[in-house]
Structure 1
Amino acid sequence: MTVRIGDRRLELPPGDQLAFLAGLGFLAALELIDWPIALAIGVGHELARSRHGKVLREFGEALEEA
């Protein structure tokens, strides 16, 4: 989803990922988890997601070549 703020565009993650990140922020705001822990979980989640997507793209490209 893309949000326009003035002359800037902001690309938001898909709804399920946005909900996950909002949940982490909510838990950190309630001090149920520390901010550094929430940040580490969020970054790790994004790295795992982007790596998974890369692996799937490479697999798809290999299938196209076969």
Structure 2
Amino acid sequence: MSPQGPRAAAERVISDNSLTVRIGDLRLELPPTDQLVFLAGVGVLAALDLIEWPLALVIGIGHELARSHHGKVLREFGEALEKA
């Protein structure tokens, strides 16, 4: 299939839904701004002792795992569409 196929579309959605920071030769992919704000909010709640640090860590890790799984599902969906 052409480079404009379903797989390319899925990759575009995934890459459009992230924030890339470049510092010299270093390239760092961050989650989208709204997710960074969510994680910062969890950090603030932990810093103010409104929630415990282990709970904040579990929330942050769970949130990142869900985001990672979403990207994987989109890639697999694009691949399946190309095979169909």
Same fold (TM over 0.5): yes
Runs of 4+ residues deviating >3 angstroms:
6-11
Among the aligned pairs, what percent are the same residue? Answer: 75
Number of equivalenced pairs: 65
Shift of 1:9: 4.4
Contact 1:3 1:12 in 2 (8 A): no
Give the TM-score taking structure 2 as reference length.
0.67
Residue in 1 that maps onto 2:58: 40
Give the TM-score taking structure 1 as reference length.
0.83
Unaligned runs of 5+ in 1: none
Residue from 67, 71, 84 that aligns with 1:49 = 67
Residue in 2 that maps onto 1:2: 21
**Structure with larger RCO (C-alpha < 8 A, sep 6+):** 2
Residue in 2 that maps onto 1:16: 34
Q: CA RMSD in A?
A: 1.7
Change in Cα spacing, 1:3 to 1:12, as seen in structure 2 (3 Å) is: farther
Q: Distance in 2 between matches of 1:60 and 1:54?
A: 10
Q: Distance in 2 between matches of 1:19 and 1:50?
A: 17
Partner amino acid, structure 1, of 2:43: G
